[in-house]
Amino acid sequence: VDWSNNTIDFSYYVDSRDKKPKTRKLMSGLTEHVINTGKSLLLNDKSYDKFIKKNNIKIRGTKCKNWLGVPLKLTNGKTIGMICVQSYQNDNKFNSADQKTFDLISNQIAMAIKRKRDDIFIHQQAHYDQLTGLTNKALFYDRLEHSILQAERQDEVIAVLFIDIDDFKIINDTMGHTAGDQLLIIIANLIKSTVRKSDTVSRWGGDEFSILLPAIKSIDGVKKLCERLLYDKFNNIILNDKKLCITASIGISLYP
Active site residues: 207
* CB count in 10 Å sphere of residue 189: 15
Task: Determine the 3-state secondary structure of 229 from DSSP.
Answer: helix
Eight-class DSSP state of 27: -
Which of 128, 125, 163, 156 shows the shortest CA–CA distance to 142? Answer: 128
**Residues 108 and 116: beta-carbon distance below 8 Å:** no
CA distance 173 to 246: 15
Q: Give the bridge partners for 36, in sequence order.
A: none
Helices 137-154 and 96-127: crossing angle, nearest 10°? 80
Dihedral of CA 145/147/148/150: which sign? positive
Decide the pairing of beta strands 248-255 and 158-165: antiparallel
Give the CA distances from residue 137 to residues 213, 219, 232, in Å, rounded to whole numbers and listed in that order: 15, 24, 27
Give the CA distances from residue 139 to residues 122, 136, 173, in Å, rounded to whole numbers and listed in that order: 14, 6, 31
